[in-house]
Structure 1
Amino acid sequence: MEPGILFRIILVGNAGVGKSCILQRFLEKGFDDKYEVTIGVEFGTKQIKIDNKLIKVQIWDTAGQENYKSITRSFYKRAHGIILMYDITNKTSFNDLESWLNDIKDYANDGVDIALAGNQVDLVAYQDNYREVTYTQGYDMKNKNNFCSYHETSAKTGQNVNELFQELCSVLYKKQEIKGFGKNQTAFVSLTSSKDPRKKYKKCCK
């Protein structure tokens, strides 16, 4: 049976942190380390189960470059959840989270749920000197901003990738149950009437 609930999740963060590769891994398409810059916004979809109910998840992969931010901002209002991502081997990408948060506050819906992801943990598995952002720093950022979850992830190995999306979707699902969203509510839509003109996700970009 076609799932009746659609969650839209947007991936945001600096260029090169691995957003597109995380999406590719979540879609079970493996890992491709070839670097291709995302232009504008691309998306992929996947069905998951929450409380034995089938949910369709649409994930938007956004360009991280400054000159594409206006495009990214136009998608914030349609997102039910946001994954804010940085690279644990790049302190600048972590410091720039404040700028991304300002955009979220300005353009996303009030109370949107945000998950934090520190990507590329595979790079520090055997050479910790590559790490520029500690787990504690990420965890403190999560607590400071009341993010719904925090994971260190790896698109290459798949570490915590499913957990990242599953936990965010579980939070969205529980909120939907508590607030009693139904078929006539706009926050969660029937897939039979959902249309999106964007092209489907085709490539892996960091």
Structure 2
Amino acid sequence: MLSAFRIKVVVVGDYGVSKTSMLKSVVTTSSRTDVNVQYGQYSDTEIELHVRSSLRREPVTMMIWDTCSQEKFRSLTASYYRGAHGCLVLFDVTKESTFNNLTYWLHDLKEYSTHPEISTVIVGTKCHVTPEEREVSHERAVKFAESVGLPYMEVSAEENKNVTEVFEKLADSILENLTKDSTPNMQQPNRVILSKQQKPKKQWCSC
């Protein structure tokens, strides 16, 4: 199906936070999803997802890039982020270290993104677990997201909870940025506001 908007979305986060599982979930539940092969330095599969945005009647075509475990070797560079209109930054609510590394991924996004208005959503995965299994509470994650000026959502690939919704939310944000008039020196919503001085050392784990 043809779409007036064809946008690139990248998915980042520590190794093992269910990035690929979330993409597999949206592929199996969407009736408008095609999987194409993208031969490149990082992505060997590119998911073509047609998302219904609340801002437009026709579907929006998302070209979603997965890291294909390259983040495990710290090898993501500007080539992966180049041209992206939107980004999902994931962490696992059951692993404190993946939450602590969010500032690392947001700094990379700010440094390498070629779109100054790149839309971003912070996503907590495995929200189906019990409160006792969580190492990061919902309230704590929301507070962090608010501190960097970004929206926050929680998903569960295992139970297919909010998976489609998170892509729809990102699509709305992207279209809003693409269609609005740019205003210099004005802070826009859903933008990374992390300063370069805030970049921490990443806590790499063997998960």
TM range (shorter): 0.7 to 0.9
Alpha-carbon distance in structure 1 between the residues aligned to 2:127 and 2:48: 25
1:37-48 equivalence runs, <5 A: 40-41=42-43, 42-48=45-51
Contact 2:50–2:60 (8 Å) recurs in 1: yes
- Opposite residue 26 of structure 1, the aligned amino acid is V
Aligned to 1:7: 7
User: Secondary structure of 2:167's match?
Assistant: helix
Aligned to 2:52: 49
User: Secondary structure of 1:70's match?
Assistant: coil
* Structure 2, unaligned runs of 5 or more: 31-40, 183-206
What is the TM-score with the length of structure 1 in the denominator?
0.75
- Taking only the aligned residue pairs, the percentage that are identical comes to 24
Is the alpha carbon distance of 1:136 and 1:75 closer, same or farther for their aligned partners in structure 2, counting shifts above 3 Å? same
- Opposite residue 48 of structure 2, the aligned amino acid is T
Aligned to 1:186: none
Is the alpha carbon distance of 1:65 and 1:55 closer, same or farther for their aligned partners in structure 2, counting shifts above 3 Å? closer
Q: Does 1:81 align with 2:83?
A: no
What is the TM-score with the length of structure 2 in the denominator?
0.74
User: Looking at both structures, which has the greater relative contact order when contacts are Cα pairs under 8 Å and sequence separation is at least 6?
Assistant: 1
Q: 2:152 aligns with which of 150, 153, 156?
A: 150
RMSD of Structure 2 on Structure 1 (CA) = 2.2
Alpha-carbon distance in structure 1 between the residues aligned to 2:78 and 2:16: 19
Say how many residue pairs are matched.
Answer: 168
In the TM superposition, structure 1's runs of 4+ consecutive aligned residues that sit over 6 Å from their partners are none
* Structure 1, unaligned runs of 5 or more: 31-38, 181-205
Alpha-carbon distance in structure 2 between the residues aligned to 1:72 and 1:29: 31
- Opposite residue 175 of structure 1, the aligned amino acid is N
Is the alpha carbon distance of 1:116 and 1:86 closer, same or farther for their aligned partners in structure 2, counting shifts above 3 Å? same
